[in-house]
């Protein structure tokens, strides 16, 4: 009898989860992510997508039409849709729902032998205020997003103890304003290693799903991965009636290594404590600090932004600390603190690119928008103006680095 050698199925490089909340005004434009996933999987068989798509769109005789909102769950591999399930509408802003999706992504990653697992959050974003907003105005707070990821990881480990060390390796935030120190801190606590996000409002459809190929092709090269992802995002242009436009004015890939995050938070806390002391001791120092910070423009740099938006006070962290470090009127120790804080934040930035003249936002410059933002108001009106519904301050980072004490001394 002729012996037969069985070849085991090839392990995949990447399980890439797409959690798309189309229960709002972005449904049609951001559905582009799924078409791109089909194309990417056809071109690269090492990638499988796990998808949860809440949408009002459906296919009828080859056309896409609007209908009743529902939730589709399926996988995409080899250019084909697999295991489709169509059911009632999921509450995408519910952390329990996101946790179940994370678990399913990790379950599929184990089954496919994937070397890494990432998820992409596709919807509205509000920085440290959260995101994943549904049509009824509900949204998931930023800390709850990170907790849901941790809960999903824990559920996978409990059900699959043989694979208990598997975590979500990276998060792609196809959402506005999510490159923040607060989100980086929260994800790091959940075991996530990388965050790919923009510090500013994005243009839908946003991040191209082709970044999955960049990740899969650089599994052992974080720097190469980060540069490839950023290059892919910033070179993308979507055709509109007024010409091609890019999805992001600036984009980062951050290293969420726990030691680096801790170093950054230690340096920021030292700066905050010393700045608070100096500002309370001297009106001259307080005015100088306020002027330095006010000189760094916050986010939502587009004409339609309103003064009450909390993101007006979300300023690029490194730019803030660099402005203080350059101010010769301030105490030398405080300026050294600022340099140390800037350097520690810079160590988190694996790759970055920004636009010097972002046409969709009337040519606003983002030359200073390198790396994550911090909530740094310079007036009482700017301190968390939409709280408690949308809070930029109710998170572990803001509290652990004494950001509230600093803000209280300056604003």
Q: Are 90 and 54 in contact (CB under 8 A)?
A: yes
Q: Are 99 and 80 in contact (CB under 8 A)?
A: no
pTM of the predicted model, to two decimals? 0.94
Structural domains of the chain, ranges and CATH numbers in brackets: 14-256 (3.40.50), 260-349+356-410 (no CATH)
347: exposed, middle or buried (Cβ count in 10 Å: 0-12, 13-18, 19+): middle
Q: Are 94 and 106 in contact (CB under 8 A)?
A: no
Element containing residue 276 per DSSP (H, E): helix 258-281
Q: What is the pLDDT of residue 4?
A: 39
**What whole-number distance in Å separates Cα of residue 174 and Cα of residue 120?**
7
Q: Are 202 and 126 in contact (CB under 8 A)?
A: no
Q: What is the pLDDT of residue 22?
A: 86
**What whole-number distance in Å separates Cα of residue 165 and Cα of residue 255?**
19
Q: Which two tokens mark 212?
A: 């999955």
Q: Are 219 and 13 in contact (CB under 8 A)?
A: yes
Q: What is the pLDDT of residue 346?
A: 98
Q: How long a stretch of residues is the chain?
A: 411
DSSP 404: H
**What whole-number distance in Å separates Cα of residue 207 and Cα of residue 211?**
8
**What whole-number distance in Å separates Cα of residue 19 and Cα of residue 284?**
49
**Backbone phi and psi for residue 15, each to the nearest 5 degrees, phi listed first:** -105, 120
Pairing of strands 116-122, 170-174: parallel
Q: What is the pLDDT of residue 3?
A: 44
Q: pLDDT (tens digit, 9 = 90+) per residue, 300-332?
A: 999 999 999 999 999 999 999 999 999 999 999
- Compute the C-alpha angle 352/152/20, nearest 5°: 60
**Selection from 188, 371, 193 nearest residue 262 by Cα:** 188
Q: What is the pLDDT of residue 61?
A: 53
Q: pLDDT (tens digit, 9 = 90+) per residue, 184-237?
A: 999 999 999 999 999 999 999 999 999 999 999 999 999 999 999 999 999 999
**What whole-number distance in Å separates Cα of residue 284 and Cα of residue 21?**
48
Cis peptide before 388 (omega within 30 of 0): yes
**What whole-number distance in Å separates Cα of residue 139 and Cα of residue 103?**
21
What DSSP string describes 181-225? HHHHHHHHHTT--EEEE-SS---TT-S-TTHHHHHHTTTT-HHHH
Residues 6+ apart with CB under 8 A from 215: 14, 16, 116, 118, 170, 225, 229
The set of long-range contacts for 275-283, using a CB threshold of 8 Å and a minimum separation of 24, is 275/324, 275/334, 275/337, 275/406, 275/409, 275/410, 276/402, 276/405, 276/406, 276/408, 276/409, 278/330, 278/331, 278/334, 279/409, 279/410, 280/409
Q: Which residues pair with 312 in a beta bridge?
A: none
Cα 95 from chain centre: 16
Helix (H, G, I), strand (E, B) or coil at 325: helix
Q: What is the pLDDT of residue 135?
A: 78
Q: Which residues pair with 142 in a beta bridge?
A: none
Q: Are 394 and 375 in contact (CB under 8 A)?
A: no
Residues of the chain with pLDDT under 50: 1-9
């Amino acid at each position: 009898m002729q012996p037969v050698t069985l070849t085991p199925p090839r392990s995949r490089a990447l399980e890439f989860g797409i959690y798309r909340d189309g229960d709002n005004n972005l449904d049609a434009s951001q559905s582009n992510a799924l078409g791109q996933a089909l194309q990417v999987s056809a071109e690269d068989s090492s990638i499988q997508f796990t998808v949860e798509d809440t949408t009002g769109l459906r296919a009828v005789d080859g056309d896409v039409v609007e209908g009743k909102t529902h939730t589709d769950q399926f996988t995409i591999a080899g250019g084909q849709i697999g295991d489709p399930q169509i059911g009632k509408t999921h509450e995408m802003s519910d952390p329990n729902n996101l946790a179940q999706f994370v678990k399913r992504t990790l379950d599929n990653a184990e089954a496919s032998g994937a070397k890494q697992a990432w998820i992409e959050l596709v919807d509205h974003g509000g920085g440290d205020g959260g995101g994943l907003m549904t049509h009824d105005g509900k949204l998931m707070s930023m800390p709850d997003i990170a907790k849901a990821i941790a809960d999903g990881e824990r559920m996978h480990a409990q059900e699959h103890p043989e694979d208990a060390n598997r975590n979500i390796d990276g998060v792609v935030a196809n959402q506005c304003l999510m490159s923040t120190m607060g989100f980086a801190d929260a994800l790091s606590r959940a075991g996530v290693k990388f965050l790919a996000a923009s510090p500013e409002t994005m243009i839908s459809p946003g991040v191209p799903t082709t970044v999955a190929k960049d990740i899969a092709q650089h599994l052992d090269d974080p720097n190469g991965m980060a540069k490839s992802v950023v290059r892919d995002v910033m070179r993308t242009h979507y055709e509109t009636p007024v010409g091609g436009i890019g999805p992001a004015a600036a984009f980062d890939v951050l290293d969420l290594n726990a030691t680096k995050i801790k170093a950054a938070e230690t340096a920021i806390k030292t700066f905050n404590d010393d700045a608070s002391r100096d500002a309370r001791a001297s009106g001259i120092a307080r005015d100088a600090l306020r002027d330095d910070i006010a000189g760094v423009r916050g986010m939502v740099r587009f004409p339609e932004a309103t003064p009450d938006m909390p993101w007006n006070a979300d300023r690029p962290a490194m730019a803030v600390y660099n402005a203080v470090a350059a101010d010769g009127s301030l105490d030398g120790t405080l300026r050294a603190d600022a340099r140390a804080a800037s350097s520690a934040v810079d160590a988190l930035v694996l790759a970055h690119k920004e636009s010097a003249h972002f046409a969709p936002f009337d040519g606003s410059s983002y030359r200073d928008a390198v790396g994550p933002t911090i909530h740094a108001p310079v007036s009482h009106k700017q301190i968390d103006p939409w709280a408690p519904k949308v809070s930029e301050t109710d998170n572990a980072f803001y509290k652990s680095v004494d950001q509230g004490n600093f803000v209280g001394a300056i604003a």
